[in-house]
Amino acid sequence: MKNNEQIKQILDSERFKKELYDLQIQLHSFPELSNDEFKTSGFLQKILRNEGYKILKTSGTGFIAIMECRQSGKTIGLRAELDALPISESDNNLLFPRNSISKKPGVTHSCGHDAHMAILVCVLKIISKNSENMKGHIIGIFEEGEENASGIKPMIETLKKFEIDAIYGNHCWNELSVGNYVISPGAIMAAYGVFDITITGKGGHGSRPDRANSPIDTGVQIINVLKCLWNKKYINDNEVTLSITKFNSGNTLNVIPGNCNIGGTIRFFNKADGQNAMSDIQETFKGICKINDCKASYNVFDANSNPVVNDKDLSEIVQSNIANIFPQSKVIQKKWFASETFSFYNQLAPTMFTLFRIKNSEIGSGAEHHHPDFFIDPDSMVYGVGAMLSFVRDFLNS
């Protein structure tokens, strides 16, 4: 693994590809929801113990796998996520029957975490076989509960015991074709804000709206004003998106309810933009509720997350390696409005998050993340391995 030719030989090996693909299929077949990844965690721990890694568990299902190479040097963290989503997977992808399908009803890996785990485990296995010729420490980071952000705090606490010089992660992305990458210095994935607000009005009989004060009417006004505000102020200028994802009120046809619940999310790349957007949401609820003699109660109202930020120097290492190992690949700079707990690792060390592409219209991959038709082209994982493995080599040797 001293040069790019050795890495290419590994990636071109049919034996290696089969090991990578089979591991992803196995993980895909038995998904587990956030904070319930006990079998997944135990399965991966067993593999890595057999490869000589020392396992250190967090307070939940998360764990880290530690390898000390023969020569002392820098410490690098490599991260993947353990959890799946509460989604019923379709039998087909966009075109064809799947080569593997979740065996757990209502639960599936429709964000690519199964591929991320397979990539990281295979990289760690390659490292263990070459550790005699490497220097530094490698920490494999297996984070529980990424989808509900429950596992990141205990993982950060666990990693604080180590002096880490860089943390690398990758994520598959359904946009553009297999073999291409997004490598952007600076913010690459969005921060998020969330809100859940209850509007209280005055209920009444469905025949006499004049004697009631419908919170539904107030809620509809609020949503319309917010949509107009976003089209005018945010969409084009500040890269802030708004989605109303919840509107609940009433449960019968002839009763005007007394309450209405509205929830949603914003995504942003600049902290100030996010705070301004949340302030506009709050002022809109406050003003329209006052006009309609209703009351707004804030159940959840938070925008304290951060975007995923790539270190400039680390980005250059990855981009240079890809140009050498995969000269046919395109590398572009682009932002993704999805959010990721990988942003928290920036508290510990400079971070690098590479997006590799999984779209292949010939085999039916390319559906949106978190969608029942989501499917990963198996060949895309080789590109994830190549980017991670070459980064480890060059960073530890630099």
The C-alpha atoms of residue 230 and residue 277 are separated, in whole angstroms, by 9
**Is there a contact between 258 and 200 (Cβ–Cβ < 8 Å)?**
yes
Helix or strand run (H / E) with residue 66: strand 63-68
Lookup result for tokens 């998106």: 241
Neighbours of 6 (CB within 10 A): 13
Lookup result for tokens 């932002």: 335
Neighbours of 72 (CB within 10 A): 10
Task: Label the pairing between strands 191-200 and 331-332.
Answer: unpaired
Half-sphere exposure of 112 (CA within 13 A, CB side): 27
Compute φ and ψ for 127, nearest 5 degrees.
Answer: -60, -45
Determine if residue 371 is labeled as part of a ligand binding site.
Answer: no
Determine if residue 113 is labeled as part of a ligand binding site.
Answer: yes
Determine if residue 132 is labeled as part of a ligand binding site.
Answer: no
- Sequence-separated (6 or more) residues with CB below 8 Å from residue 362: none
Q: Tokens in use for 34?
A: 């956030």
Binding-site residues sit at: 111, 113, 147, 171, 370
Binding-site residues for Mn(2+) sit at: 111, 113, 147, 171, 370
